[in-house]
Chain A
Amino acid sequence: MKRKLILATFILVMTIVLVACGNNNNDEPAMPDGTEPAPIVGSIVLATTTSTDDSGLLDFLLPEFTFETGWEVRVISVGTGVALQTGRDGEADVVLVHARALEDQFVADGYAERRYDIMYNDFVIVGPSGGSIRHNHDVEATLMTILQYNLPFISRGDTSGTHVREMDLWMVLDANPEDNDHYIESGQGMGATLGMAIEMDAFTLSDRATWLNFAYHADHIIVCEGDSNLLNPYGIMIVSTTREPEGARTFVDWMIGARGQHLIGQFGVAEFGSPLFFPEAE
């Protein structure tokens, strides 16, 4: 009896496994109109920041690109500084990053011929709704109000890109955020910091994608958005030493072309009701 039971369980599990594998094999990409994918011609390496990869943007774009052009893209997802270093070392064909000064330096040093605007995302200040700050588009006024009225503000305090941007914003104001008794540093990631801000009824600076992805908003809302100082532009560059100049060119042209730009603007709309990245190429 017992042996039969074990055998039956074994058969059941194997059936499930086989069916699951079978389904995966049937997962060939196919356009709704029945067009065939382009034959694979080669592959390029893209060095990029974690934000483009973690947000799911590349998973959304790259299968389409490969389907249409036949070029595969292998993604190295690291911090902006490391991504650019990967380019300098000749290990990547294309870099996609967000640090304008470093990108210009990359071009000036001859590692790329030029930098193309591709898209931007933006930072937002979130805080309690019905509090002392109403929804606005003026980041300087928002931060000055927080400072003057000693409103609780949680800083990442971890030298991440978001923290560096926050420091830049205070510097523009020529203000020392630590004059505020309720200014605290979490030293944690964006998600953990958002959770603390909600718990402590505090304000914080977040990138829009993480805020939209954060599952529990409670009474918190975006209090400041759309100020030009909150924009976070991304640039794309072909590395001069690329071993696949044709593939790299095809990829960049596709990304800054009509098709890529359209898809970038579509990403996230269905899920969040607003794009996570805004197309910006000329």
Chain B
Amino acid sequence: MFAFLDQEVWAIIIRTMIMTLSSTAISTVLGVPLGLWLEQARFPGKTLLVSVNRTLLAAPPVVVGLVVFLLFRRFGLFGALGWMFTMQVMIIAQVIIITPIICSIVHTAAARNGDQIRSFALTMGANQIQTQILLIRELGNEIFFSVVTGFGRAMSEVGAIMIVGGNIRHHTRTMTTTIVLLRNQGEIDQAIFLGAVLMVIAFVVQMTGNFLRKREQRLDENF
């Protein structure tokens, strides 16, 4: 079907990166503020909301895929958009899967260190906005870790995007859905190759994360 790194394989890798980066970016914008807010806000039903978030953390991607499929299918609630089997709907499914992950990690970190940081800000006479900025800066490592975790999950996910994306060649075929297809065709060598490329990308992302964090710590020390 493919040569090892022909144009189609490159297109699949690039498509996978576009999808994963988009869904991670959207989930970060949603998940980080939500996690910080969940820690600070006091309202009835908060415990329930935290529980719901933790449940979504464990939601099987195929179930998320099925729900998104039902919403976006032709006769579904958002069927008029005509987004079924497109990149948009794959990103939506991934956002639903990884936002709870990012939100949950940020929330846990904020719950551990939030009070300390806030009282420090108070003693320094910081206003509300300055306090929030300090909070995000102090929790930088944890927030970064949450984003890398979300990215990894988005990249490795296959169940949901297979259902809503349809694995359409040249359109919605990604690295993981290609691996499933190759395995079904008995093309194990090529499947292993793509699997290895996925592992390398995961490794590079993780190492970049480490490097940035170390540099940040060093900067802090010099400060």
A residues adjacent to B (C-beta < 8 A): 157-159, 184-189, 192, 196, 199-201
Contacts and interface: CB of A to CB of B under 8 A. Distances in A.
Contacts of A185: 168-169
A280 B178 CA distance: 39
Q: At the interface, is chain B mostly helix, strand, loop or mixed?
A: loop
21 contacts: A157-B169, A158-B184, A184-B168, A184-B171, A185-B168, A185-B169, A186-B168, A187-B169, A187-B177, A187-B181, A188-B162, A188-B181, A189-B184, A192-B166, A196-B85, A196-B166, A199-B74, A199-B84, A199-B85, A200-B84, A200-B85
Nearest to B178: A187
A141 B1 CA distance: 29
Q: At the interface, is chain A mostly helix, strand, loop or mixed?
A: loop
B166 A186 contact: yes
Nearest to A155: B169
Contact of B167 (A159, A186, A200): A186
B73 interface: yes
A199 B184 contact: no
Nearest to B187: A159
Interface of B: 1, 73-74, 84-85, 162, 166-171, 173, 177-178, 181, 184-185
Q: Find the residue from B73, B162, B167, B178 having the highest chain A CB count within 10 A.
A: B167
A158 B184 CA distance: 8
A150 to B, nearest CB: 16
Contacts of A159: 1, 185
B84 A184 contact: no
A249 to B, nearest CB: 34
B171 A187 contact: no
B38 to A, nearest CB: 37
Given A158-B181, A187-B177, 11 more contacts: A158-B184, A184-B168, A184-B171, A186-B166, A186-B168, A187-B168, A188-B162, A188-B166, A188-B181, A199-B73, A201-B74
A196 B184 CA distance: 19
Contacts of B74: 199, 201
A199 B164 CA distance: 11
A187 B167 contact: yes
Q: Find the residue from A157, A184, A187, A200 having the highest chain B CB count within 10 A.
A: A187
B173 A187 contact: yes
A200 B85 CA distance: 9
A187 B214 CA distance: 43
A192 B185 CA distance: 16
B215 to A, nearest CB: 42
A10 to B, nearest CB: 32
Contacts of B168: 184-187
A84 to B, nearest CB: 16
A168 B84 CA distance: 30
A157 to B, nearest CB: 6
B133 to A, nearest CB: 46
A187 B166 CA distance: 8
